[in-house]
Amino acid sequence: MATGNFAPCQQQGALSARTRVVNDFSIKISTVNGSGSQSANSVLMKSIFGMGVPVGGKNLFPSNIAGDPTWFLIRASKDGYAGRKRDSEILIALNPETAEADLRALSPGGVIICEEALNHSLNLDRVRDDIFFYPVPFEKITGTICPEAKLRKLVKNMVYVGVAAQLLAIDLAVVENGLRRQFSSKQKVFELNFGAVKAGFDYAQANLVKRDPFCIERMNGTAGKIIIDGNAACGMGAVFAGVTVVAWYPITPSTTVIEATKDLLKKLRLTPKGKATFAVVQAEDELAAIGMVLGAGWAGARAMTATSGPGLSLMTEFCGLGYFAEIPGVIVDVQRAGPSTGLPTRTQQSDLLSTAFLSHGDTKHPILLPGSVKECFELTQAAFDLAERLQTPVFVLSDLDLGMNNWISESFDYPTKPLDRGKVLTAKELERLGGEFARYRDVDGDAVGWRTLPGTMHPKAAYFTRGSGHNEASEYTEKPEEYQAIMDRLARKFESARQLLPAPVAVRNEGAKIGFLAYGSTDCALCESLDQIRQRYGQQVDYMRLRAWPFAQSVHDFVAAHERIYVVEQNRDAQMASLLKIDLAGGQAAKLRSILHYNGWPVDAEFITEEFAVKEGI
């Protein structure tokens, strides 16, 4: 399956329907960090999307500035599977350092498109004899179309887009349209890049014989859908929720949450005279950022920050203040691999336990767990309402995979409900109450006191906010019974949150004795794994996706209805299982078993399926 006299893809004809692999494969693009390949990768992925084929992209990049290996994975899936596929069928190899290892990892019968000179220097065509080889003189092609040497490194990437498009039978007009949208305001940039795409396409058409079975055919799997990353969706959700104060400190992988928020605010939150009605402040560190958020929330603004694990650690004491003084605020945590600096550009779900009890003392924080980019949009919106309804910091836990990678999604729904500002007393309401106001008194039985906002023109509106011991009238106290009364009410408030938080989503099959629990970005791999379990082992299982903590009663009911429960998560210490064990009554916790993935790469369906089979002994 090596090289030969190559002919146009359109003339292949001989591949039978049985051997052809249509709209169901993964492409691995291997480059060097800082080589400018991101635009080309995006164009190739969006071209497949433009052919109507469900597709997603995952950028596996190092944390250094330039020089280390980078992989971009494009998965086309006619069935809509969106998780990382363990093995790729097509390799575009442009990094000499990893070319041989990447080639050895290819699925049998796979394809490699590589620099012709790279093949000669490394003898790649001798590494395996079960792979289709397509060596291409990228450097020579680029030299003929781009006279400026400093631009050739960038333009070369577009050449492989053209080669791949021709070999996979992607309509060149679709690629052209995608490039026009990407460079809509830069005609000369478009012309240079499309010239490179066309050169690669023409070379493949004239010199390569299509022998492999992989191709893209038009389908209608993307109608009405979008491609977006979770961080951008969180930013959109914050803007639609009415955020007016954003305080932050840059940290991978959460920075683009704030960038997306800021860009939308600049477009949508200006007066007719161009004056901003919002504030976005880059603080000196995460400690200052969360302090600003709580100060703004106390003053009545809708405020947020975004961070990752190390930043969250710095916010610990302020988050305890927010809990005890009952101040609303939203914290978006885009999780990465820890501990310490860890792997800043790898994904995990390892902040769950620390976030749930963030701060010293008895502290519990509501957590929202989006499982898709659409839920990043929706649950970030919901977090602002919940923060003000419950008068407490609310956390949205995403992760690097969900936050920074490209996902196909249904279009987002425009919000129709008014903002829920919670229990806020106006001057008129205070007057009607005869001035009877105690900030931390539970008068309605929901464990949430009424608050006033600074500037409320009534002599009884003021109260003292403190992180030290206080009673229901917000007066300083060290009396044991008064302190305990506040702590007991806070515990009741946390319990009341169970009815307010987003409910879990369950898929049930009649007679299933085994159940799965998962959350966040693990959902996409688990959904695919459940299909594999049914097809390979004939097992019908149930699945519940958790969307919030504290857990709803339906989570308890789900566990009670099954003999065994597998909790699938992306951390070493079974953090979600630990939270469940704290919550479950009686012997229910003994039903829990863990499937844990924590090497920094997004979990894949095969891993879950194999772990399940081993644990079940099948």
Q: Are 484 and 549 in a shared domain?
A: no
The answer on 170 and 147 residing in a single domain is yes
**Separation of alpha carbons 282 and 280, rounded Å:** 7
Closest among 380, 365, 356, 230 to 305, alpha carbons compared = 380
Taking the alpha carbons at both ends of the chain, their separation in whole angstroms is 36
Confidence at residue 184, expressed as pLDDT on a 0 to 100 scale = 85
Query: Same domain, yes or no, for 75 and 128?
Result: yes
Contact criterion met (CB below 8 Å) for 174 and 211: no
**Residues 379 and 250 both lie in one domain:** yes
* Residue 259: partners with Cβ closer than 8 Å, 6 or more residues away: 235
Q: Categorise residue 375: left if φ over 0, alpha if ψ from -120 to 50, beta otherwise.
A: alpha
Residues 292 and 198 in one domain: no
DSSP codes, 45-71: HHHHHHTT--EEEEEE--SSSSSSEEE
pLDDT of residue 380: 98
Give the model's confidence band at 10: pLDDT under 50 very low, under 70 low, under 90 confident, else very high. very low
Residue type, 497: A
Characterize the bridge pairing of strands 406-410 and 225-229: antiparallel
Last residue within a domain, chosen from 157, 190, 223: 223
Q: Distance of CA 65 to CAs 35, 61, 69, 79, 399, Å?
A: 11, 10, 11, 36, 21
User: What DSSP designation does 11 have?
Assistant: G
pLDDT band, very low/low/confident/very high, at 151 (cuts 50, 70, 90):
confident
Among the ranges given (33-37, 85-89, 520-524), the one the predictor scored with the smallest mean pLDDT: 33-37
Residues 404, 440, single domain; the answer is no
Asked whether residue 388 is assigned to any structural domain, the reply reads yes
**pLDDT, average across residues 350-359:** 98
Q: Give the C-alpha distances (Å, rounded to integers) separating 504 from 144, 353, 556, 587.
A: 57, 19, 11, 22
Alpha helices in 270-369 (DSSP H): 286-298, 309-314, 316-325, 352-356
Same domain for 560 and 485: no
The CATH number that applies at residue 354 is 3.40.50.970
236 and 364 share a domain? yes
Assigned domain for 420 exists:
no
**Residue 14 pLDDT exceeds 80:** no
- d(C-alpha 394, C-alpha 398), whole Å: 13
CB under 8 Å to 353, separation ≥6 — which residues? Answer: 573, 575, 578, 579
Is 574 inside any structural domain?
Answer: yes
Q: Indicate which CATH number applies to the domain containing 35.
A: 3.40.920.10
**150 Cβ neighbours under 8 A, 6+ residues apart:** none
Residue 585 within any structural domain of the chain: yes
- What's the number of domains the chain is made of? 4
**Residue 62 domain-assigned (yes or no):** yes
Percent of the chain at pLDDT > 90 equals 88
> What single-letter amino acid sits at 550?
P
Q: What is the pLDDT of residue 1?
A: 43
CATH of the domain at 579: 3.40.50.920
On whether residue 79 sits in a domain, the answer given is yes
What's the rounded Cα separation, in Å, for the pair 56 and 408?
Answer: 6
* Residues found in the chain: 618
Look up the domain containing 558 and give its range.
Answer: 505-616
Average pLDDT for 202-226? 97
Q: Is residue 139 within 8 Å of 157, Cβ to Cβ?
A: no
Is residue 480 assigned to a domain?
yes
Q: Do 493 and 535 share a structural domain?
A: no
Q: What is the DSSP letter of 190?
A: H
Mean pLDDT, residues 466-483: 97
DSSP structural state of residue 84 = B
581 — phi, psi (to 5°)?
A: -65, -35
Query: 146 falls in which pLDDT band (50, 70, 90)?
Result: confident
Whether 102 is in a domain gets the answer: yes
Query: Dihedral angle at the C-alpha atoms of 108, 113, 118, 121, nearest 10 degrees?
Result: 40
Using N-to-C axis directions, what is the helix angle for 575-583 and 553-560, rounded to 10°?
Answer: 90
When pLDDT is averaged across residues 51-58 and rounded to a whole number, the result is: 98
Shared domain for 485 and 582, answered yes or no, is no
Q: What number is the average pLDDT over the span 75-94?
A: 96
Q: What percent of the chain has pLDDT over 70?
A: 97
- Of 452, 469, 499, the position where a domain reaches its end is 499
Which secondary-structure segment (H or E) carries 209? none
Handedness of CA 106, 528, 211, 201 (dihedral sign): negative
**pLDDT average, residue stretch 320-332:** 98
Most confident option among 107-121, 431-445, 558-572: 558-572
Q: Are residues 29 and 151 in the same domain?
A: yes
User: Do both 42 and 110 map to the same domain?
Assistant: yes
pLDDT at 149: 76
What pTM does this model have?
0.94
- Domain boundary (437, 467, 499) is at 499
- For tokens 């959902």, the residue is 523
What distance in Å separates the CA atoms of residue 320 and residue 142, rounded to the nearest whole number?
57
Res 413 pLDDT > 60: yes
Amino acid at the residue 217: E
